[in-house]
Structure 1
Amino acid sequence: MTLKNWQITIEKSFDKGKLVSDIILNTKLYKPQTRPDIISRSRLIDKLNDGLAQNLTLISAPAGFGKTTLVCEWLEQLSYPSTWISLDQEDNELFRFITYFLKGLQRFFPEFNDSIEDIFYSQQTPPVEIVIDKILQKVTAFPQRIIYVLDDFHVIKNQDVQEFLLYLIQYSLNSSLKSTQAQGIHFVLVSRLDPIFPLSRWRLNKQICDIRSDDLRFSYEETGQFLNQRTKIDFSPEQINAFESRTEGWIAGLQLASFSIQGFSPSKLNQFIRNFTGNNRYIADYLIEEVLEQQTQEIKDFLLQSAILERMNAQLCDALLNRTGSQAILEKLDHSNLFLVSLDDQRGWYRYHQLFSDLLKYRLSIFSSVSIPELHNRAANWLEQNDFLEESLKHWLLAENYAAASELIEKTAADLMSKSKFLLLRSLLDRFPEKAFKEWPWLCIYRAWVNFILQPEVVEVWVEKTNAILSETNLRLNEKQHAELLGNLHSVKAICSARHGDFEESFENARIALAYLEPQNYKVRGLALYAQATAQALKGDDLLSALETCHEAEKILNLGRNYAGQVDALSLSGEISQMLGELNQAAALYKEAIDHSYNKEDDVFFSAAMSYTGLGEVLYEWNQLDQALLLLIKGCELGEQWGISQWISSFCSLTMVYLGMGDLKSAIDVMQQYEQRSTGRSILLVSQSKEVACKIRLLNAIGDFASIEKIIDKRKLHEIRQPNVVQEIEWAALVLFYYSQRKWHDVIRISEQLLQAMVRGKRYGRWIKIAAMCSVAYKMTGNTDSAFSLLMELLPRAKSEGYLRTFVDLGEPMMELLVEYSHLYKASTDLNYVNQILSLLIGQKPTDSAYQFKPTNLSYDYKNTEIRLFDALSEHELKVLRFISLGFSNRDIAEELGVSINTVKTHCANIYGKLGVHNRVLAANRAKLIGILAS
């Protein structure tokens, strides 16, 4: 609209019988006074001050976010002159608005009263454009910037008024481009919704200061200050955090909550906090009056029915409401700041503010014109079709449609397990009521698989439940379905039996499973073969067959795209190779497992814990200590998530490596962490031996020999009647204990029995370690011939695979033996290798001419993969991490990156998870340690 059109509009709308004094009320130009107990928002005051470099400030947020209070506080601290108009619905007439505008300036320019008379009362009204331009020229020439506040601008719907203000703002913007001085009008628009102005262009040109609801939300500190001040109650940090979380920093919500809790006892206060929702009568009254009742019936229906969704986009809302055009409504709600929170930068996905959502759900239960279960069914159907598995299942269950929910689990569980998403699968199964498991046996099968990985001590409970259900005659299963269920059941039994040391039972269950399973069921057939390989490896009498079975399992699991199972098989192959003493092959297999352990979302499989731990052990043996620690720590982090068995293995390996490096304090710390987490949990037979071995070594380092004797008695380790491959680890720790105590005859007594059994089973990895201690013991007991004979058998085998720490950790007695060997056998081809070990024993770096072991089958640059070890961070996460290290707050980071504060919080949560930390300081330190950030 042009200025001439405004003249016509003014003339038509103005009633010359009215006096201007009747139209303009003093209260319209009155700035509200701030309360004496106001919570100062210094962070936002600074932002408003910085925004004076632009010509417009827009403060846009839903009702109750403290917009007006903030501006009042700011103006009281500001040295610039200011003026204020409080707008309402009656102000949607152009002549009124212009009158208010000029009256607001009259305190600085008394002559503007004549201009008002010229426009509205002169018999010969001059063109409006002339009057307005003259006024703006005078304002621009004013020696100071004038702050002009238009409060509640969202009430202005009149296009003429909006275009008039746009003209004023644009004039001010253009004037500022021509002047280097901060003069003219700085407009401050306070609104519940964004005006239809070219905001994007102004933002791009940095001509606008934007303050949104994310900026206005109370922080944790502000929430605590507000509640303590208003209620005189001494709130705990947990209570403050609960209020902040429930209200999401919404100031009106906190204020209304403070009204509700006046005079509450501590118990009643805690109960209120637990139950604090949008149904609270103060909250409900406020939201109904200020928000819901202002909407059309179409918008009300949309709000109520979409309230069942935790998050929504236009397509989901269309499906839910059996309509089209939801995109336009979402955009309108977003534009109107109607308690809608954007969840992405593209504004495709949204959610409602928690308290607003609570109120909508409550009113839906009373006023809904559509069955609520039907709404959940519609939502679940769309979500399932669009691969939103977890949300779909939630809505099927809320609709009590257990048949659809169970069918969804059957279709997706195997795929989730193959991607190592056991925690997700467990959370899905946890949603089912007990009665559903009795009717759908697949739920029991998948619960058994999940518990085997995450909580093996209770897996037998679910195996028995499945057995009981499958024995019932009223199951609606055909023969093929029944066979598949039995095949899965016996596969679980096979792996459980192997881990409990019942190898024959494991072989039998694996055989039965393979007989029941379809040839094309690669996902589960591979697991049955994996169970066979596990039993063979733990039995220990034919490791080569175990390795062959494991390779076959890995190939079949790969065919079935059971990637988590494939990682398990590769890791087990690495473990078997390590037992065979083939460190090159073990490292290559562990590395391959790690490479396969990242899915397409770049989430690492928990089962990779075995590979990180195994590779850490190999690198420790190769004396690559820093990299070994990095891998072992990662193994512990994954082991905690994966399950108690691997958890024990990872923590014990890390403890023993710290002991080997002489870091007793770190070893004790790791073991204490382990014991705190494992208290009250049953441990599989396989893991018990590693735990015992670890405790013997740690107690020996501490000097608590009495406790070691108790373990020896309890575990009956005095004599080896039938060498057992699992308990072999304990005897090896006992040999090391006797070695440290210089009980050479005990070392020889146990070692000789172990060495014979290890040679029969080709367990040369363990043989090398026992043979090294035994050769020293022979020397110390005067049996030099046996010492050198065993050493000459030992050195070539150890040399070919790069064993170093096995010798170095045996200290001075080993050094004396090797020095004597090097003097007696100067022509030995192993002499350079011996010299390298001696260099490490006396604390020197090996010379250039000394033997240097190079892994022949391994091409892996560990230094360049340090970031990979901690789940590679995305580009956005790296940016956020850099700002964190510089001390930026979440709000500062959001401003720098141009994203919402919720987006920053999401990035922070991802960073903490990937780095295995729980706060900003630890994240920055860990990133510097592993080379993501410069120190």
Structure 2
Amino acid sequence: MPVGREDGRRANRAESRSGNRLRNPSRRKRRDTLPSARGAQRVSTRARHPGRRMPEPVGPAGPMLHTTKLHPPAVRSTSVRRRRLSDRLGSARPALALLVAPPGFGKTTVLAEWAATDPRPFAWVRLDAQDNDRAVLWAYIATAVASAASSDGPVSSLTAAARAPDPAGALAAALESLGEELVLVLDDYYLITNEDCHAQVSRLIELTPRTVQLVIATRWDPPLNIARLRAAGELMELRAPDLQFNLDETREFLNGSLALALDRRAISVLHERTEGWPAGLYLAYLSLHESADPRQFVQTFGASNRHVIDYLTEQVLMALRADVLQFMLATSIVDTICGPLADVLTGESGSGQRLMDLERANVFIAPLDERREWYRYHPLLAELLRTELTRREPEKLPLLHRRAAEWYAGAEDPDRAIEHAIAASDTDFAARLIGQNYLRQIEWGRIATVLGWLDAIGAGAIATDRRLGVVKAWTMHFLGRHAEGDLALSSAMAAPEVSPLPDGANSIEATAALIGAAFPGGDVGAMLAAARRAFELEATRDSPWRITVHVQLGFALVRAGRFEEAKTPLRTGAELASALSMWMDAIGSRALLSRIELEIGDPALAERLAREAIDIADAHELTPTPTAAYARVALGAVLLRRGYVATAESLLSEALPTIRALGEPLALAEVLLPLAAAFRALGRRADARAALDEANAMIDAARDPGVLGVGRGRRAAPKAGPGMEALTSREVEVILAVSSGVSNREAARRLFVSYNTIHSHLRSIYRKLDVPSRDAAVDRARDLGLIK
């Protein structure tokens, strides 16, 4: 029902009264009290854990993204509309608009006011410390841009950009294709410290089309080539002197928005002593509102308290009722706060209503969603509250952080759970959380996040805790730092026993076998032995590793050239992985089955399996992972066999950097060999020779290269070497038949022989030509002039 004027006046009076409920009655005599628990805000129970409702996650898969970070804050009724600033921002179209000032200068407010008046859509990201991971940062940026873009445009390319190897380049290209005007705001950028994140943002600034305006708000200059942008005229800056209130704005704020009815002299004094600092003026208002003699307050403001922060401590916080101040101190340890989380931190109920009362009282707190479930203290106030809490009750900090960690763990937010567990010095809880969550973070490409956890918990804890040693071992291996991974695994094996490990492994022996099978270096024999041992220890357990060991065993058998034997564990792994949503194993098993079909079966089926693997990776945002790169290698090899050489080369070249980063020589050789063939077919002989030489060097250095060791794929010799056994006429017919790209079964049909006969002939051909595969045999036969 619409609210009439009378009802509106009653609501305003009620809000005015609630705004004074939080003040200390000893400072000003009032009869108002806090509302009872019956008036507490209702808490939604639609979350998986009642009472632990997190901001709604967005995106089909991957890490949770909090929607409260993806839109500007509401403009408060007390804000002064500073058209001089919003007009400058709206009229300028540089590559970057940069707002740099200490806290309390209204950077976010100015941007929110601009967003409310500019006709362009705004993509907004409020950054925090968890965004110091390229995968996380670009997930937020791409999601914000896709949400702001027109629904009629090709927005799928925007969200896909976050998963690209070059997210900034991919997003810029998608924005160019979209052709829409929009503004992208990165607020609180000072919290980004990761160099890779800075490098990618710099690249976005360089590549973003003119239809997009990029805006960064920060406390200090970011490392983004600011001087070069300024010299090129591609930078618009608003700094503290620009963001200060002028005298007219001070007057409008104090007498208009806040209705203080101060005379000109009082306004001039406050403006001069705060130097137009918006937060300082607002703090002055809070005390003026409580002062029995406003004129005297104005005369003394700033005289005995030169630092307004000190003034805030002495006047504003001390003016709050003791129970309200205690509530704010306890809830200041988290970045954002909601009623259920505040209940846990304070040990009380009715916190949702109390947060609403704080908002109405204008106590530097702002809602983050329209439902007013989540709030955020102004950074200035939050810093002060934490300092005051540390000064007053340092012994209480571990308890509060432990409560926060448990709440976030229940809400399935491991980032914040681990952050607070470490802050609580609860190494055992932190280690358990890290052990339970690190593999999924690595799967999502968030290795920087896992490294951050390990750095925060410290080398001493890692060295003495088996769970953390295992995490470090896997992480270092995934980074290609295998010596560090081996050292971490050795430390973990020497640490006190924990069984089962929090990542689900049965024992440290099982972990060692799993790592040995996943990162064998150049030793296929050791890989197969490790895979078999891991299979023995995990295949029959109700364990997340049960599927992985099937895929690992199949992979080892493929590398050993035992293709038929590999089919059974890989097919089982593929079925189980899809049924249980283990998407990395679903991708890997299909890519390996594709490789088998290409070698001894049906190229058409090989292509279908490889495309299935890539589709799964795309659907579950796993495109940047090495497993997805291996699927692209599988498809590239198939397309090369079928004559789509340019497409094959593109896929193989795209996968190469990700595979190379693993530091696994055999995996790299498996990319370089078909890539060399693609280069050769395209006439790029120098590139082909370089790729082939690198692959041969990897294979030659390997202790046991497996099937790759059957030959080196060299193509330099135009004639058969001394002692090379000649092919029979039937074998020449076979190699000629398969050179057209048909399957082994089709070649058998054309030659009127059985499939097994073709298979036997090919094995003999591989041996005689000293090659590992059909493709290599065809290339070798052409070099020798056996076929054209």
Q: TM-score, normalised by structure 2?
A: 0.52
Of 482, 486, 492, which aligns to 2:509? 486
Alignment deviations for residues 316-335 of structure 1 (CA, whole Å, 9 cap, x no partner): 12211222333234334555
Which one of 520, 526, 534 corresponds to residue 513 of structure 1?
534
CA contact (8 A) 2:432 2:467 kept: no
- Structure index of larger Rg: 1
- The equivalent residue for 1:547 is 567
Quote the Cα distance in structure 2 between the aligned partners of 1:570 and 1:510.
18
Q: Which whole-Å deviations, capped at 9, do the CAs of 1:77-131 have from their partners, x for residues lacking one?
A: xxxxxxxxxxxxxxxxxxxxxxxxxxxxxxxxxxxxxxxxxxxxxxxxxxxxxxx
How much has 1:532 moved relative to structure 2?
2.8
Q: Deviation per CA, 1:531-588, whole angstroms, max 9, x where unpaired?
A: 3333322222x22212333323434555665332332222222233334364222222
Which residue identity lines up with residue 432 of structure 1 in the other structure?
Answer: I
State the partner residue of 2:399.
374
Residues 150-203 of structure 1 deviation map (CA, whole Å, 9 limit, x = unaligned): xxxxxxxxxxxxxxxxxxxxxxxxxxxxxxxxxxxxxxxxxxxxxxxxxxxxxx
- Per-residue deviation at 1:375? 0.7
CA distance in 2, matches of 1:237, 1:324: 54
Letter in 1 for 2:522: H
The one-letter code matched in structure 1 to 2:569 is T
Cα deviation code 1:6-61 (max 9, x no counterpart): 9xxxxxxxxxxxxxxxxxxxxxxxxxxxxxxx9963625979xxxxxxxxxxxxxx
Asked if 1:460 corresponds to 2:486, the answer is yes
Q: 2:690 aligns with which of 686, 695, 714?
A: 695
Pairing 1:615–2:635 present: yes
Q: SS of the residue aligned with 2:376? A: strand
1: CA distance, partners of 2:109 / 2:763: 83
Residue 363 of structure 1 is matched in structure 2 by 388
CA distance in 2, matches of 1:301, 1:244: 40
State the alpha-carbon separation in 2 of the partners of residues 222 and 407 from structure 1. Answer: 37
Structure-to-structure mapping, 1:464-863, within 5 angstroms: 464-469=490-495, 475=497, 484-497=507-520, 499-503=521-525, 505-517=526-538, 519-540=540-561, 542-557=562-577, 561-580=581-600, 582-597=602-617, 606-624=626-644, 628=648, 631-632=651-652, 635=655, 639=659, 648=668, 652=672, 656=676, 659-660=679-680, 662=682, 695-696=690-691, 725-727=707-709, 731-732=712-713, 734-735=714-715, 737-738=716-717, 743-745=718-720, 759-760=763-764, 767-779=773-785, 787=786, 791=787, 817=788
User: Residue type of the partner of 1:327?
Assistant: G
Equivalents in 2 of 1:388, 1:747: separation in Å? 66
Q: Check whether the contact 1:553–1:569 (CA below 8 A) recurs between aligned residues.
A: yes
SS in 2 for 1:310: coil
Give the root-mean-square deviation of aligned CA atoms: 5.8
Displacement after TM superposition at 1:313 (Å): 2.1
Aligned counterparts of 1:539 and 1:588: Cα–Cα separation in 2: 24
- 2:329 corresponding residue in structure 1: 304
Q: Cα offset for 1:759?
A: 1.6
> What is the match of residue 853 of structure 1?
none
Call closer, same or farther: CA 1:322–1:512 in 2, change over 3 Å.
Answer: same
Distance 2:361 2:333 in 1: 21
| 1:320 has 2:345 as partner | yes
Is the contact between residue 398 and residue 424 of structure 2 (CA under 8 Å) also seen in structure 1?
A: yes
CA distance in 2, matches of 1:66, 1:713: 56
| Partner residue, 1:57 | none
Task: Name the structure 2 match of 1:441.
Answer: 466
Q: Which runs of 5+ in 2 are unaligned?
A: 11-81, 92-102, 112-184, 191-212, 246-273, 281-304, 736-759
Q: Which deviations, in whole Å up to 9, do the C-alpha atoms of 1:588-646 show, x marking residues without a partner?
A: 22122223335767887552111123213323443446754664565357657877669
Separation (CA, whole Å) in 2 of partners of 1:375 and 1:383: 12
Deviation of 1:423 (Å): 5.6
2:106 pairs with one of 45, 65, 79: 65
* Deviation of 1:394 (Å): 1.2
**Conservation of the 8 A alpha-carbon contact between 1:523 and 1:556:** no
Shift of 1:715: 8.1
For the Cα contact (< 8 Å) 2:646–2:682, is it kept in 1? no
Question: What letter is aligned with 2:517?
Answer: A
1:22-37 equivalence runs, <5 A = none
Contact 1:580 1:762 in 2 (8 A): no
Q: Partners in 2 of 1:306 and 1:589 — Cα distance?
A: 52
Matches within 5 A, 1:6-155: 41=85, 43=87, 64-65=105-106
* Structure with a larger share of its residues in helix: 1
SS in 2 for 1:351: strand
Residue 383 (structure 1) shift: 1.0
Residues in 2 aligned to 1:345 and 1:630: alpha-carbon distance in whole angstroms: 46
Contact 1:314 1:330 in 2 (8 A): yes
Q: Distance in 2 between matches of 1:694 and 1:287?
A: 71
Any idea what the Cα deviations from partners look like across 1:345-385, whole Å, max 9, x if unmatched? 65533434444433332222113487011110111111111
Paired amino acid for 1:464:
S
2:428 and 2:448 mapped to 1: Cα distance?
22
Matches within 5 A, 1:874-885: none
Give me the whole-angstrom Cα distance separating, in 1, the residues matched to 2:575 and 2:481.
26
Residue type matched to 1:562 in 2? M
* Distance verdict in 2 for CA 1:40–1:375, change over 3 Å: same
Do the aligned partners of 2:104 and 2:277 also contact (CA within 8 Å) in 1? Answer: no
Q: CA shift at 1:390, angstroms?
A: 1.6
Q: Is the 8 A contact 1:217 1:250 kept in 2?
A: no
Change (3 A) 1:477 1:387: closer
Q: Name the count of aligned residue pairs.
A: 510
Matched-pair contact (CA < 8 Å) for 1:609–1:646: no
Alignment correspondent of 2:150: none
- Equivalents in 2 of 1:394, 1:444: separation in Å? 19
Deviation digits for residues 672-718 of structure 1 (CA, Å, limit 9, x no counterpart): xxxxxxxxxxxxxxxxxxxxx76255xxxxxxxxxx7x99899879x
Q: C-alpha separation between the residues in 1 aligned to 2:89 and 2:518?
A: 63
Say if 1:714 and 1:570 are closer, same or farther in 2 by CA, change over 3 A: closer
Change (3 A) 1:768 1:576: closer
8 Å Cα contact 2:614-2:628 kept in structure 1: yes
Task: State how far apart, in whole Å, the 2-side matches of 1:634 and 1:604 are.
Answer: 10
SS at match of 1:41: helix
The higher relative CO (CA closer than 8 Å, separation ≥ 6) is in 2
Query: How far, CA to CA, are the matches of 1:513 and 1:45 in structure 2?
Result: 60
1:460-512 per-residue CA deviation (whole Å, 9 max, x = no partner) reads: 2222222322xx6xx47699999533222222223333x42241x33333343
Structure 1 portions without partners, runs of 5+:
7-37, 48-61, 71-212, 228-233, 260-279, 669-692, 698-707, 780-786, 792-816, 818-935
Q: Classify 1:662/1:63 alpha carbon distance in 2 versus 1 (closer, same or farther; 3 Å).
A: same
8 Å contact from structure 1 (residues 380, 396) kept in 2: yes
